Structure formats: C-alpha cells, structure tokens
Amino acid sequence: MSKFLAISLLLTLLSHCAYSYSRATASAWRDQDFFGYCRVSQCSDGGPEIRFPHRLQSSNTSSACGASCARLACSGPDTILHHPFLGPCNVTSIDYRKATMKIIPLRSPCPLQKLIFNTLPPNDNLSCELYSNDPAKIVQCSKKFTPSGTSPVDGEAFMTTADYIAGPISCLGDTKHFSYLVFARLYMYVLPLDCRIVSKGSIPIPRPLNIYGPTFKERAEAIINLAEITVSWWPDEVTFNYTKCDEVTFNCTKCERQKQRCQRVKVISVTSSVAAFVVLSFIVATALYLSLKSRYDEEVHLKVEMFLRTYGTSKPTRYSFSDIKKIARRFKEQIGQGGFGSVYKGELPNGVPVAVKMLEHSTGKGEEFINEVATIGQIHHTNVVHLLGFCSEGTRRVLIYEFMPNESLEKYIFLCGPNTSQELLAPNKMLDIALGIARGMEYLHQGCNQRILHFDIKPHNILLDYNFNPKISDFGLAKLCARDQSIVTLTKARGTMGYIAPELYSRNFGEISYKSDVYSFGMLMLEMVSGRRNSDPSIENQNEVYFLEWIYDKVITGQDFVLSGEMTEEDRLKVRQMALVALWCIQWNPRNRPSMTKVVNMLTGRLQNIQVPPKPFVSYESHAVP
C-alpha cells in the first residue's frame, strides 16, 4: 500500500512539474535574470549582506526575492531581526553556507521576566525553523548548588545534568534565594529538594539545528547576559509559493488560472524542453525515493550522535568505517551470527585479535547500539566481555570486542546438536564457569554506579576465552536503572524464549526486577547440568514445565543426571549442588529467588547448607531462600 501511494505521489509531482515547465519555457527568453533583478542589500558598508533567501522589508526589492520567514529591517546602520520571542535583535553576521545567523537581543538588563510565555508552540509546529527553541523554567532555591552527574531527558539516554542548568542568575536572586534557568524537560529530582519552579510559563531558548552547537547552558547564559546567539534555518525551508499577481514571481499558475497577468522570474533557461523534462523527472524521482528511504535512518542517526556526543569522551575508541574495514580485513572471515547481526574476526593495528560485530537487524531506533556502548563501554570486569571500540557512520553501526577463541558456552554443554562440541565440560570446570557467570551478573546488578539488567542471559551469550573463563556478552536488550530501584517498567517482554522469567509475560507472577536475570541464569545452569535444552525438539511434546519437572524429580529422588553417569562421588555432589541452586533461581515467584550475591555464596558454600527448594512451577507461597 505504501509503495502504491509513493508511486501515485511521484506521478502527480511529475505531471505538475511537466505542466509548470512547459508553460514557463514559452516565455523564458522574456523573463528577467533572477540575480540581476534581486540584488544584494546592506544596512551599512560593514553590515551583513542581505540576499536570497532573505530580503530587507524596507528595501525596494520585490517580495519574490525573499523566501525565508526572517523579518529583517534597518535601524540606522544596524540590521534588525524581529524575533517573535526575543523581540528586536541586532544581526551581527549571516553565514549562507552554514545557513546560520548570529544575533544579539536588544532588551534591557535581566530580560528573563519579559520573555516568559504561557504557551509555546512545539518546534514541530513552527512555520519557521529560524525560531526553533528549547523551553526553560526559572527555578528558585534557598542554597547555591553545583549540578553534577547525569539524568534522563524526556526518557531518552542519560545526559550530563550540568549542560541543562544555567545560573545562579544574579539579577533575579538575593542573599536568601538563588535563581536558575533549567531545561523544562529535565527531571526535577536531579535538583535539590529546596528548589521550586517560580515561572508560570516557559522561556524560549533559541536552538540551532546543528546538534554539535552550543549546549542549553551556554545558550541560556547568552540570553541572560544579552550575548551573541546563533540561530539557523534549513535550506529546504525555502519554498516558492508566491501568489501576488502584480509582482514578479516564481509561480504564475494560480494567477493564470484567475486570468490575471503575471511575469515570471527565470532562474535557469534551457534550450531543450524534452531534455529538461527528463532531467527534472529524474531529480524528482530520486529526491522522493531518498526522502522516503532516509527519513527513518536520519532520526536514528541523530539519536545515536546525540548519545555519543554526551558520552563520547568516556567511551572506547571511535573508529571510522574505513578503519573498520581494515580491522575486519574487509569482512572475509565470519565467525558468528547473532540476533542483531554478523560477527567477523579482525585484528587491531597493534596485532590484538578482535571480534567485529555489524549491527544489521536492529529493530529499535538505535537502541541496541546505545545499550551496548552505554553498558559494557563503561565497565571492566573479568567476567564481562570488553568493548574495545565502535563505529557510527551514517546508517552503519559496528562494535569491536575482545576476541573469544572458544566461542560460546552453547558449544560445550549439550549432548547433541549442530553447533556442539564432541567433548563436554567436566563438572569441576562446569562449576567454575557457572561461578564466573554468577560473579559477572553480581557485578552488573550491584557493582556499577547504575544497576544493569541484561534480560538475555543464555548459553549463546556466554563467551569463553583461552582458559575457558566465561564472559557475559550481547547487551542489546539491557536496561539501566538506579542501584536502589527494585522494580523496572517495560512496555513488552524482552529476551529469548525458554529463558524469559514468568513476570515478563504477566505481572500476576510479580514485578520485573533484577530477579528476572536470576531466573535466566537458573535455566542456563539447569541446561549445563542436564546436557539438554529447556525446549528439546528431539523430545515430542516437551515444554518448559516438562523440562523443569524432569530436573526436579531427579533432584528429589537423588537420581543421576545424564551427564553424571561416569563420575566420581565428588563430581556428582558438584552437579547436585548446581542443580539445587538453579532450582532456587527459577522459582516462579520473584521474591523466592536469591540475589546473585546469594547465588555466589551458595555455589562456593557447602552442599549440606542448601535446602531442597519447592517445585518452581507450582510454588507460589513465600519460601525463605536458604
């Protein structure tokens, strides 16, 4: 349906362009030259040049010579922009190449109270990008404070709080009160408890369209100090939709339909109408295709770049895509395929082997890439894979990890399968790996400044280094939250079937928290001790409950697992200890599951101290964790 609409729109545009062009070429040689007709204007010899797409309202040039919404006029030698929010502003310079204009508001000192608006139109609804702004509020506090840390802005990625607070403002405060200008969409909990909003409306802070422009704080301080401010416009904001039939204009179609005389301004004349029609058709078709194709990609790119701009200084090395191709040896050696893309073996310039992951199947707005960089990019733990670098260039997203020669745990724990090894892990090594995973998860839950919930713990995401030490990988579904936050809100379930905790499907089982990761770890450990997948396609009608019931019966009756057929008594006890801990981890009621700190203690403690848990798929009453 969308393709049909796009084709219909394209044909409409082509027919309109063909009609307009055929009418224009008939009088092309009679039209006056545009650049000769619309001359450059200046308010003074040293003042900024006013030319297309802008024009001076006080000049003698036709309104057809200006296509922007800027209201420019002369006041003596000064060039004045009549800004709808800031009022009259002195224009110090105009850069037509960058589409920017530098202005200084002409208001009395301490102008903030006069800039408060009860309602500000959203930027999406503004008819002129030149007046784009960020809303701000005046906040009054009883003490001075210095902003620090990070805070989510509008629910997006965490931003540096200090970049969104300006002040204290000397002209609004006294010895007992201190006023600050705060971004209106900043969460109030980042401010001291004694602070309160005192402005009833919002103050518009001009915002340039370039994401690498000055911060909110820098722009707000410029307003407070009546300093120079940069505003900008999109080149495609310029449109030719003039309909005054008594003036020279670009489009006479409406006038001619009304049988009124109209004279066109010629921009470019050609000798062949057929060749021009073909070229114009190709340009329109290409522009429409690229617009439809790139709109979504541009939104993702801006979101990722905004995130990298905030966190780029504290993250791993950022590479260009040309560097990535050299590191990955032009992607000749593929070593894996994940849920979000392909993984290739590469080598850094210093000879260190790496794994290069191309994010190809991302479904969110860059969220997988942002999650990876925001989580493992800032932590270092022996049981968490190390992120060495990344690339974000256009629509390309690439992550560079340390190379894991023994691939994933999935290869070594199952009795049969296309991607499994012939030699399974010994019980003592199995326990070491489970303990390493538990310590890595304990660090994610308790050892970082913010708690990191993985939400996709499974054998495929546990990588093994040269010594078979486990490392947790693939943080594409991870979520950051405060360390003291016990409940997490998700709009939909995330993870892999068979490892997803029950509360992610239904809140009737409990609240979503770090205990959801504990459940996934328990399922992983049960697969390690049994040598079976929690959903084995080789067993007819097997489901998750069947698998858990089979494991539980083995533990209760003291029977050996498949893996423990030819083991010493010490090995059997290790396997039983892992099974008991795993059964505690997969209790359906999240409150009955142990924390990862408790799991580490249980795995390193004595088997005699671990009680037999209730049936995980039946138990719903509270049971004390041993």
319-337 pLDDT, tens digit per residue, is 899 999 999 998 999 988 7
Q: Which residues are annotated as a binding site?
A: 357
pLDDT confidence of residue 97: 82
Domains annotated for the chain, with CATH where assigned, are 107-236 (no CATH), 315-402 (3.30.200.20), 410-609 (1.10.510.10)
Q: Give the residue-averaged pLDDT of 93-99.
A: 84
Given 456, 474, 517, 536, the catalytic residue? 456
Whether pLDDT at 339 is above 80: no
Beta strands in 256-366 (DSSP E): 263-266, 317-318, 334-337, 341-347, 353-359
**In the prediction, which pLDDT does 121 show?**
56
pLDDT of 62: 63
What are the pLDDT digits (tens) for 99-128? 888 888 887 667 666 666 655 555 544 557
Q: Look at residue 220 in the predicted model and tell me its pLDDT.
A: 85
In terms of Cβ atoms closer than 10 Å to its own Cβ (0-12, 13-18, 19+), residue 494 is middle
- Measured distance CA(23)–CA(253) in Å, rounded: 9
Read off φ and ψ for residue 602, nearest 5 degrees: -70, -40
- Check residues 427 and 476 and name the one with the higher pLDDT: 427
Q: How many whole angstroms separate alpha carbon 158 and alpha carbon 456?
A: 22
Mean pLDDT in residue range 598-614: 93
Q: Which amino acid is present at 251? A: N
How far is residue 236's CA from residue 416's CA, in Å, rounded to a whole number?
60
Query: Quick one: pLDDT at residue 470?
Result: 96
Q: Known binding site for ATP: residues? A: 357
In the annotation, is 134 catalytic?
A: no
CA–CA–CA angle 326, 331, 337 (5° rounding): 135
pLDDT of res. 55:
78
pLDDT in tens, 444-496: 998 887 889 999 999 999 999 999 999 999 888 888 887 777 778 776 777 88
DSSP conformation letters of 510-555: ---STHHHHHHHHHHHHHHHHSS-SS-TTSTT--HHHHHHHHHHHH
Beta bridge partners of 91: 103
Structure confidence at residue 36 (pLDDT)? 59
Which residue, 178, 231, 177, is CA-closest to 204?
231
pLDDT tens figures, 150-193: 776 655 556 777 888 888 887 777 778 888 888 887 777 778 88
Segment holding 401, helix H or strand E:
strand 396-402
Give the pLDDT confidence score for residue 101 in this predicted structure: 87
In the predicted model, is pLDDT for residue 539 greater than 70? no
* pLDDT score of 345: 93
pLDDT by residue (tens digit) across 550-592?
Answer: 888 888 888 876 554 567 888 889 999 999 999 999 998 999 9
Per-residue pLDDT at 253 exceeds 60 = no
Tokens matching residue 22: 């055929």
